[in-house]
Amino acid sequence: MARYLDVHPNNPQPRALAQAAQVIRDGGLVAYPTDSGFALGCQMGNRDAIDRIKRLRRLDDKHHFTLVVSEFAQLGQWVEMDNWEFRAIKANTPGPYTFILRATRELPRAMLHPRKKTVGVRIPDHVTALALLSELGEPLTSSSLILPDQDDPMTEGWQIADELGHDIDLVLDSGDVGAGPTTVVDFTGDGVEVVRDGTGDPAPFVE
């Protein structure tokens, strides 16, 4: 069964964060809170853990996994942005958005869309998620915890532990998550496309 760690929403306990980060370093799969429901997170590019996410969510190879970072300055190593993309994304982060961008060669292949060589990126506006990233010291490979046949991510840590305890290794719960999914904005086509209208305001990206 998955371990369940309940932390303070404003000052998550360092010991719990350290335990969660170690599970990730050891190749495990964790559920963690964000500003847009819970997400599944694993070590960047860990193929076995990514395969576990695919099985749990019943995803195909065309799914865009998300690179979750703690601050905008970290994105330049992993994705390509022109000047307009740079300004638009910076102006709207942190927040409940996922941006699909062209990946650099630094990003592990296991995370990439197999044909387009693109990836989602995200900077959550959530204390516990950012504290976990800080403790881990590197980005997370992540995917919203949206179960098959559902449209919105799970929002209750106890429910995740109860229903998915045999499929994941740890639940990190601070009791404060956003109720809807991220707004997904794709910058890799001929123009900017809002491919999912979620909790982030799509207006800055609609021409």
Q: Give residue-wise pLDDT tens across range 120-158.
A: 999 999 999 999 999 999 999 999 999 998 989 999 999
Domain at 3-205, CATH homologous superfamily: DHBP synthase (3.90.870.10)
Q: In this model, does residue 207 exceed pLDDT 80?
A: no
| Predicted pLDDT of residue 115 | 85
- Give the SS3 label for residue 200: coil
Q: What is the mean pLDDT of residues 92-107?
A: 96
- pTM for the model stands at 0.95
Confidence of residue 114 (pLDDT cuts 50, 70, 90): confident
DSSP H or E segment with residue 31:
strand 30-34
Q: Locate 118 and state its tokens.
A: 């693109």
d(CA 40, CA 160): 11
Which of 101, 136, 122, 106 is CA-nearest to residue 21?
Answer: 136
Confidence of residue 179 (pLDDT cuts 50, 70, 90): confident
**151 exposure class (CB count in 10 Å sphere: 0-12, 13-18, 19+):** exposed
Confidence of residue 192 (pLDDT cuts 50, 70, 90): very high
Which of 133, 128, 122 is CA-nearest to residue 173?
Answer: 128
- Contact between 99 and 200 (Cβ < 8 Å): no
- The DSSP bridge pattern shows strands 140-144 and 3-6 to be unpaired
